[in-house]
Amino acid sequence: MPNANEDKSTALSQVQRRAVSELLRVSPVADDLARRFQEAGFSLALVGGSVRDALLGRLGNDLDFTTDARPDDVLKIIRPWADSVWEVGIAFGTVGCQKQGYQIEVTTYRSEAYDRTSRKPEVSYGDSIEEDLARRDFTVNAMAVALPEKEFVDPHGGLEDLAARVLRTPGTPEESFSDDPLRMMRAARFAAQLDFEVAPEVVTAMKEMADRIGIVSAERVRDELNKLILSPHPRKGLALLVDSGLADHVLPELPALRLESDEHHRHKDVYEHSLTVLEQAMDLEVDGPDLVLRLAALLHDIGKPRTRRFEKDGRVSFHHHEVVGAKMTKKRMIALKYSNDVIKDVSRLVELHLRFHGYGAGEWTDSAVRRYVRDAGPQLERLHKLTRSDCTTRNKRKATALSQAYGGLEERIAELQEQEELDAIRPDLDGNQIQEILGVGPGPVIGKAYAFLLELRLENGPMKHGAAVAALKEWWATQG
C-alpha cells in the first residue's frame, strides 16, 4: 500500500502537471510582457491566485503579476503594448490592462497594514519578491513563477498546502490578520470557493481576533461575503463565519438563528434549515449563481428570533416573521452598502416567501393567482425557486404534496399568463380614458379611480370596455 509520503508525492506531481499545461497556454502573452520588463531593467512574475489556479488546472483569463518596477515605470512599459490600460488601483500600486482577451494586473512589490483605527491599508513598496510573498494572505496564494525563465518561487510551502487542500498563512495568522483583518473573511471565502480546510491555528486566530473586522469598510466586507455566497460551497464558508464569531460582526442575524426551533419541524433549528434552503435554491439555478436568490434563501427566516412566541398548547409560533424579516434584511443590506435594486429584490422575496402557504390548502381563485403574480412582479421566477427550496421536511408524503401543490400553482399562472398577459396587469381603462369619462382633470382622484379599476381587474380578470366604463361610473357616483 502507498504510504502518506507517496500519496503526497502523487498529489504534487498531478498539481505540477496541471500547472505546466496552464502556463503553456498563457505563455505567449506572459512571456512577451516579461521580456519588455526585462529590457527595461525590471523583473516580472506571475503571482498569487493566478499561480494557485494554474496549479489547480482552473486558470482563467485574469492574470496577476508582481514586479519591482514602480507604478509609473509599469505604465511606461505597458502603455505601448496593451490594447487598453486603466489606473483605478494605481494608488495601491496596481496597474491594469487588457491584451488579446486577457485581463492583466501588474502590482509593485508591496506590504500593507492597518493601524487600530484605520479602515484603509497603508501601502509601502518592497524590493524583493520574497518580501512581497511573505505579506500575502495564505501560502497557496504566496507562490510565484518568475518570467520569462519560469522559475517557481515558493518560500512558504504553498505547493504542499495546495496538494493537501489546506489554508495556512505565510507567517503567524495573528500577524497576517493584524495586517489586514479582511483576510479572516477571505479564509472563509476560499474554503467555500476551493472546498479547502482551514488550518486549526488559523481558525483559532479568527476566533480571537474576530472583532478586528470592525475596522474594515462595509464595502470590502460585502464584496467578500458576495464571493463566498456565490461560491460552489457557501455552507462551508458561512459555517466558518458563524463558528469563528465573525458573523456576529458582519451578519449577526445568521448566528441568531442557531437556537431557534422551526414551527413545523422541531428537530431542525432555523440556522441549519436556512443553509439547506440555500443549497436547494442553488440546485434550481439555471444560468449560473444568482446572488439575489441565494441571499433571499439565506435570509428568508431571519425574522423568526424576534417573532418567536410560546403558545399555550406548547407550540412555538413565528407570526409575521416574513414581514419582520424583510425589514431586518433591508436594514442589514443597507449597512453592508448593497445597491438599492439588490436590497429591494431580496427584501421583497423575504417578504413574500410564505405567501404560497398563506392561501391554505384549498383551491386558489383566479383572483388569488393574479395578486400573487402582481405582488411578485419581476421576482416571480425567483419566488418560485425560493418557495420550492423552503421545503426541507423529511416527511416524503408532505414534501410531495407541497411540490405538487406548487406545481399546480405554476400551471395556473402559466394558463392565466397566456390568457390575460399577467406580466403587465393594469386596469382596463388608462388615465386619459378615466379623465374623459369622469369629466375631470389630472389630480388625486384619477389615482383613486385607477386603483379601484386595478382591484377590479385583479378580482375579475379582463373586462370589456363597456363593463369597465359602467363600473367606473358606478364607483364615481359613490364618491360624492
- CATH 3.30.460.10 maps onto the chain at 4-164
- HSE on the CB side for 58, CA within 13 Å? 6
For residues 406 and 356, the answer to whether their CB atoms sit within 8 Å is: yes
> What is the DSSP code string of 430-461?
-HHHHHHHHT--SSHHHHHHHHHHHHHHHHH-
Annotation: CATH topology of 4-164: Beta Polymerase; domain 2 (3.30.460)
Here the cell at position 190 is: 476560499
Relative to beta strand 122-125, strand 151-153 is unpaired
Side-chain half-sphere exposure of 425, counting CA atoms within 13 A: 26
Query: Is residue 260 within 8 Å of 270, Cβ to Cβ?
Result: yes
d(CA 109, CA 249): 32
Q: Are 195 and 233 in contact (CB under 8 A)?
A: yes
pLDDT tens string, the chain, 480 residues long: the values are 455 555 555 555 666 666 666 777 788 899 999 999 999 999 999 999 999 998 888 888 999 999 999 999 999 999 999 999 999 888 889 999 999 999 999 999 986 555 555 556 667 788 899 999 998 999 999 999 998 888 889 999 999 999 899 999 999 999 999 989 999 999 999 999 999 999 999 999 999 999 999 999 999 999 999 999 999 999 999 999 999 999 999 999 999 998 644 444 444 588 999 999 999 999 999 889 999 999 999 999 999 988 888 777 777 778 789 899 999 999 999 999 999 999 999 999 999 998 887 555 556 777 778 888 888 888 988 998 998 888 877 777 777 777 777 777 777 777 776 665 555 566 667 777 887 788 777 778 877 887 777 777 777 777 788 888 888 888 887 886
Selection from 169, 75, 81, 66 nearest residue 126 by Cα = 66
Cα dihedral across residues 143, 148, 150, 151: positive or negative: negative
DSSP per-residue string spanning 227-258:
HHHTSS-HHHHHHHHHHHTTHHHH-TTTGGGT
Beta bridge partners of 108: 67
Closest CA to 191 of 166, 170, 213: 166
Fill in the amino acid letter for 61.
Answer: N
Beta strands in 18-174 (DSSP E): 44-47, 62-67, 84-86, 94-99, 102-108, 110-113, 122-125, 144-147, 151-153, 166-167
Of the CA atoms within 13 Å of residue 240, those in its CB half-sphere come to 29
Report pTM.
0.80
- DSSP H stretches of helix in 353-464: 355-358, 366-376, 380-389, 396-420, 431-438, 444-460
Q: Name the 3-class secondary structure at 350.
A: helix
**What pLDDT is recorded for position 265?**
46
What single-letter amino acid sits at 389? S
